[in-house]
Amino acid sequence: MLEINLEFVRGMLFVRLEGVLDKNTYTKLSDCLDIMIHEKGLKYFVVNLENLNFIDENGLQTIIDRYFDVSLHDGKLVICGYHDRFQKNLEIDNIFNQIERTQNELGALKLIHI
């Protein structure tokens, strides 16, 4: 199960994930972010993985795809709160290494200058 908490602060959408982001749940995140990007026109996202228990390649690909969507619209997506146990998964795809990462949301605020 995946829980998605959204909070809009200072021109940025904070996307806080809790639970499992895998082949069974990635469409929930994908649909949510697609609405925010394409219908609402939001360009700045902080994806917080702190309370995520598991992420697989489908979840990673969902984040990568939204990173490219945001980049095409001159926006920015930053990941924070990732655990050491995810580090191996995060390094699988070299494209994923292009996404800026920081330890927490405060660090993400510093990376996104709007």
CATH of segment(s) 2-111: 3.30.750.24
Using only C-alpha atoms, the chain has a radius of gyration, in whole angstroms, of 13
Q: Alpha-carbon dihedral of residues 84, 21, 54, 77, nearest 10 degrees?
A: 10
Give the model confidence (pLDDT) of 102-112 as tens digits.
889 989 888 88
- Partners of residue 9 on adjacent β-strands: 12
Tens-place pLDDT, residues 7-35: 998 889 999 999 999 999 999 999 999 99
Residues 6+ apart with CB under 8 A from 2: 17, 18, 19, 20, 21, 25, 28, 29
99 close to 79: Cβ distance less than 8 angstroms: yes
Domain spans in the chain, listed from the N-terminal domain onward: 2-111
* pLDDT tens digits for range 46-89: 999 999 999 888 998 999 999 999 999 899 999 998 776 666 66
